[in-house]
Structure 1
């Protein structure tokens, strides 16, 4: 949901605007109807990432950095 607020009415309402963002509402700050900025809620990651969870499951070939052959570059392989 999005709410547009004129900047003249925001001076004493910052706590209310921040509360709206916490609830998931995007707040657009406007001056005489022209959008100037917006306050958006931060999306927090659902899960904590685990270092080395898939260690050893991916590999890089020894010729990874080697120049491509002309056939490969042109899509003829």
Structure 2
């Protein structure tokens, strides 16, 4: 992916052009002077099930919390 830099003031006036380039795979780093402040790039697609089993919840996950919890005693 090609990455380019542009100042925030110029980016404001060329936003539609930048978005067209982003759609074709160009990533833009928006700077305030010489300081990078934002990245404008294509949205990557997500794969469902990529981390299947990485997180497990206990069987009582959605049970009401005990009164002691709300009283600050737990």
Q: TM-score range by the shorter chain?
A: 0.5 to 0.7
- TM normalised by structure 1 equals 0.53
More helix per residue: 2
- Aligned pair count reads 47
Structure 2: stretches of 5+ with no match in the other structure: 49-74
Q: In angstroms, what is the RMSD of aligned CA positions?
A: 1.8
Structure 1: stretches of 5+ with no match in the other structure: 50-77
Q: Runs (4+) of structure 1 moved beyond 3 Å?
A: none
Structure possessing the higher radius of gyration over alpha carbons: 1
Aligned-pair CA distance for 1:2: 0.1
